[in-house]
Amino acid sequence: MKIPRQRAAEQLAGERSGNFLEVSLGLDEERALIEASRCLECNNPVCTEGCPVGIDIRSFVQLIMKEDYAGAVNKIREANYLPAICGRVCPQESQCEEVCTLGIKHPPVAIGKLERFVADYEMKHNLFVPPAAAEERAEKVAIVGSGPSGLTCAAELAKMGYRVTVFEALHAIGGVLRYGIPEFRLPRYILDLETERIKALGVEIRTNFVIGKTATIDELLGEWGFGAVFLGTGAGTPTFMSIPGENLSGVYSANEFLTRVNLMRAYAFPAYDTPVKIGKAVAVIGGGNTAMDAVRTSKRLGAEKAYLVYRRSRQEMPAREEEIHHAEEEGIEFLLLTNPKKILGDGKNWVNGIECQRMELGEPDESGRRKPVPVQGSEFVIPVQTVIEAVGQKPNPIIQATTPGLQTGKRGTVVTNESQRTSREGIFAGGDLSRGGATVILAMRDGKTAAAAIHEYLSSRSPANTIRPETEQPVPAAVYET
């Protein structure tokens, strides 16, 4: 293979660390065509097996070769309704590209970048045509949460002709894609456009609606007349380290910090009303993608020193390689094998430092990664005015607490079988709510699997059960909300 793997242009590190514009600019058409030509067109396309949602990668790459970009993106959309998002945030290096045959001897085909190229091309040239409407079915399905699993499940069911309503607790659609992933990785207009396309399938979206509070699951299945419910409420509850000083002002969960910046646009304060405080020096604790997002956001908000504090080594970091690399380029200082012990205050309840201890790697633990062991007497203090903890999330407990008989597992996850059924009839779940914390694409796979299982469930019910009187939604005569 003489043709090198094509690289997408990127905003220069020095420039981009001062703005929220997208880092990667994507492949242009010329480079995309060159990259597509690197595909070996294997008889046994293992890349598709490597894709959690089973995209027919070989076919879409071949369509790129024929310069049929609309055909290519529609090929992707058969398996994945959010191509512009997945082309940006999927960890391709550990999925399709990891198993790519070309990758045995050469760098694998840049499948993710090609996916993004065709999605962007379609967008730029306004080529989107909604799929032909399926014959409408009588059954209504409720989707709880508008993150990747919920949106995918909604799209799949709408394509089958079901009447789908998505309930979202926040005022904006997208779940973690909206409040968690920063604009420099996933611009808001991309998310808006992808969700518009889901609405174009006839999906109704109700924001400002907290299931478990505004209405319960049993009310949805009862008086609201939904035949099935899919729960995709994610893992939105932050966990804290339980170290001293966490309640000082200037200490954020990554969730709060990112929600303020991404959802509420605190970066534009006071044009937007939501404030965020960022010190001259910021320490972000954690080694996952959320930690990378938080530390890179801190830099963009003007932190002179942005530290990433992680108790293991770079090798054990769960974040995507690309994100780690981008963070390094942007001048993030990595304090590896460093464990925070205590957050220090200035006497006026504000953070002014973080006491850490050096670690060294010992024997592998249950996760297979070498366990960090503290080095006695190695304590030291980093002066910082902001601390952001990105040490994991767990599912929000509101639905579990208000849905009798819904079986929950470790750390509050909802237990499902392989077809995403829960312990309650007619209730399905997926994404981080059942996994505890995973990727966008795995959430989408769950949404897809659940859609198939919901279809099977609703089809298997005897007609006597499925034909319900058209129950009016229990809303007073005067309906004010839109």
Residue 200: CB minimum distance to other proteins, A: 22
Q: Does the footprint of other proteins cover residue 269 (CB under 8 A)?
A: yes
Q: Does the footprint of other proteins cover residue 3 (CB under 8 A)?
A: no
- Closer to other proteins by Cβ: residue 464 or 479: 479
Helix (H) or strand (E) run with residue 425 in it: none
Q: Can you tell me which of 240, 365, 405, 407 binds other proteins, judged by CB under 8 A?
A: 240
- Closer to other proteins by Cβ: residue 145 or 353: 145
Q: Does the footprint of other proteins cover residue 482 (CB under 8 A)?
A: yes
Three-class DSSP labels, 214-240: CECHHHHHCCCCCCEEEECCCCCEECC
Segment 167 to 206, residues that bind other proteins, using CB under 8 A? 169-171, 179
- Closer to other proteins by Cβ: residue 48 or 253: 253
Q: How far apart are alpha carbons 178 and 169 in whole angstroms?
A: 12
Q: Does the footprint of other proteins cover residue 223 (CB under 8 A)?
A: no
Running DSSP on this structure, what letter comes out for residue 94? G
Residue 35: CB minimum distance to other proteins, A: 33
Please give the torsion angle defined by the CA atoms of residues 206, 212, 216 and 217, in that order, rounded to the nearest 10 degrees: 90
Q: Can you tell me which of 259, 400, 408, 449 binds other proteins, judged by CB under 8 A?
A: 259
- Which token pair is 190? 């991309």
- Residue that is written with structure tokens 């080529």 in the block: 127
Q: How far apart are alpha carbons 296 and 327 in whole angstroms?
A: 6
Q: Can you tell me which of 260, 320, 424, 448 binds other proteins, judged by CB under 8 A?
A: 260
Q: Does the footprint of other proteins cover residue 21 (CB under 8 A)?
A: no
Segment 376 to 415, residues that bind other proteins, using CB under 8 A? 396-398
Q: Is the CB of residue 419 less than 8 Å from the CB of residue 452?
A: yes
Q: Does the footprint of other proteins cover residue 129 (CB under 8 A)?
A: no
Bridge partners (DSSP) of residue 238 are 393
Q: Can you tell me which of 273, 304, 360, 456 binds other proteins, judged by CB under 8 A?
A: 273
Stretch that binds other proteins, among 38-46, 79-87, 100-108, 474-482 (CB under 8 A): 474-482
Residue 179: CB minimum distance to other proteins, A: 8
Q: Does the footprint of other proteins cover residue 247 (CB under 8 A)?
A: yes
Q: Can you tell me which of 29, 189, 272, 321 binds other proteins, judged by CB under 8 A?
A: 272
Helix (H) or strand (E) run with residue 205 in it: strand 204-206
Three-class DSSP labels, 258-325: HHHHHHCCHHHCCCCCCCCCCCCEEEEECCCHHHHHHHHHHHHCCCCEEEEECCCCHHHCCCCHHHHH
SS3 state of residue 150: helix
Region for residue 21 given its phi and psi (left: phi exceeds 0; alpha: psi -120 to 50; beta: otherwise): beta
Stretch that binds other proteins, among 95-103, 124-132, 248-256, 450-458 (CB under 8 A): 248-256
Stretch that binds other proteins, among 254-262, 287-295, 313-321, 407-415 (CB under 8 A): 254-262
From first CA to last CA, the distance across the chain in angstroms is: 57
Residue 435: CB minimum distance to other proteins, A: 18
Residue 247: CB minimum distance to other proteins, A: 6
- Residue that is written with structure tokens 């709060």 in the block: 256
Q: Does the footprint of other proteins cover residue 325 (CB under 8 A)?
A: no
Residue 217: CB minimum distance to other proteins, A: 14
Q: Give burial (CB, 10 Å; 0-12/13-18/19+) of 164.
A: buried
Count of residues that interact with other proteins, criterion CB under 8 A: 51
Question: Where along the sequence are the contacts to other proteins (CB under 8 A)?
Answer: 169-171, 179, 207-210, 213-215, 236-238, 240, 242, 246-247, 249-250, 252-253, 255-256, 259-260, 263-265, 268-275, 277, 348-349, 396-398, 474-476, 478-482
